[in-house]
Structure 1
Amino acid sequence: MSTDVSGMIECRPLARIYGEDDEDAVWHAGIDLFLLNIGNAYDALACLFGVRNSFGFQPLAEDRGLPHDASDGLRAEFDAWSGPPHPYGTTWITWAELAAADWDRTDASGRLRRRAVAGPGSHWAPVWDVMRTLAELHGPDHVRLVVWFV
């Protein structure tokens, strides 16, 4: 049985201007991963999120759940999956965390590097490009990727 990733990039544009505690500094749905055509390569899912991790990667963001302050757009998309098959492995990661990650870290065998399976030159490049652009505009802590699996 295959594993498919779904999710969305979110941004909190007014947090940089007004501060994170301001009532207008809320998260907004940015772009659905479906539009960025990332596929479901299991080595990348393992390295990033710990899903199907037979590779022995130490994942960057595993099982954090849905953010409590998720945007309405993201919640609507996630709630659409409430019937079978139910989503699992829901997690999120900010651009700040991705930018600080050790992309040269390898899997348990020492043969696969994060950079090769999910780095800037991989099929995840469109996601990183969108997140990087939003982070340059709004700050790296105010851009995040939220994913779930079915």
Structure 2
Amino acid sequence: MGTDITGFLEYRAPQGDREPTWYTAHNLGSLYGNRDYDAFGCLFGVRNHANFRPLAADRGLPADASATVSARFAQLTEWYGEDGLHGTTWITWAEVKAVDWDERAERPDSRLHQYRRTANGLRLTGKSSWSAAFAEAVGLRRGEEREWPEGSEWLVGETLYRSVTLRRKDAITETGEWQPVWKAMESLAAPYGDDNVRLVVWFDD
């Protein structure tokens, strides 16, 4: 079973003499519709197989969330039950802007990266936490997991297995599927300010 993300972009606007109020600007689903565990781990610590230091993990639903977000979260909690949703958190545009995208994960990826040799060099074909062919080649028992030093590699048949440490920009690329989200947040920040724009998310399996 896979893990999916739900979220909303919010902005905070002044209300005269009253406390500024958060409003919903976009449903995340209109900007991003993928299931990318490297990105989920890098940003929010969910399905963090790549072992990143999460940028914004388990902060919970903001107490001052917009009416739309609060209502949708309450509705889904009722549908899924108290344990159905997890990883609820949020991140501001100011925090996203401050990210060092060259920062490396804290440890090598828990999954070995698999490559095939081509005329143009190695081509990534997948990432796997378990491979029967690899386990047999190196003497692992079924289900046994081990952390391998970065750069370790094995050629098994036509597949090259390698231990790799990812950088944040490997998980969230400059031209990847998160860019529409960042552009929308940046546009909202122009009139409202970097700290007054945030992404609120939660996950379900």
TM-score scaled by structure 2?
0.66
User: Structure 1 or 2: larger helix share?
Assistant: 1
- Alignment of 1:25 with 2:20, yes or no, is yes
d(CA) in 2 for partners of 1:93, 1:58: 14
Larger radius of gyration: 2
Query: Residues 38-49 of structure 1 correspond to what in structure 2 (within 5 A)?
Result: 38-49=33-44
d(CA) in 1 for partners of 2:170, 2:13: 31
Given that 1:89 and 1:148 are in contact with CA atoms closer than 8 Å, whether structure 2 keeps it comes out as yes
Selected match of 2:85 from 83, 87, 97: 87
d(CA) in 2 for partners of 1:38, 1:130: 15
d(CA) in 1 for partners of 2:18, 2:174: 34
Given that 2:50 and 2:165 are in contact with CA atoms closer than 8 Å, whether structure 1 keeps it comes out as no
d(CA) in 1 for partners of 2:166, 2:191: 33
Aligned to 1:97: 95
Selected match of 2:67 from 68, 72, 82: 72
SS at match of 2:195: helix
d(CA) in 1 for partners of 2:27, 2:11: 12
Letter of the 1:12 partner, please give it.
R
d(CA) in 1 for partners of 2:174, 2:184: 12
Aligned to 1:5: 5
SS at match of 2:18: coil
Letter of the 2:11 partner, please give it.
C
| Deviation of the 1:54 alpha carbon | 1.5
Letter of the 2:165 partner, please give it.
R
Count of residues in correspondence between the two structures: 145
Selected match of 2:47 from 46, 52, 56: 52
Given that 1:120 and 1:128 are in contact with CA atoms closer than 8 Å, whether structure 2 keeps it comes out as no
Gaps of 5+ in 2: 109-163
d(CA) in 1 for partners of 2:54, 2:174: 17
Aligned to 1:129: 183
User: Structure 1 or 2: larger strand share?
Assistant: 2
- Alignment of 1:145 with 2:199, yes or no, is yes
TM-score scaled by structure 1?
0.89
d(CA) in 2 for partners of 1:52, 1:140: 28
Cα RMSD for the two superposed structures: 1.6
d(CA) in 1 for partners of 2:44, 2:67: 23
d(CA) in 2 for partners of 1:14, 1:116: 37
Letter of the 1:84 partner, please give it.
Y
Runs of 4 or more consecutive aligned structure 1 residues displaced over 4 Å after TM superposition: none
Aligned to 2:125: none
Aligned to 1:115: 169
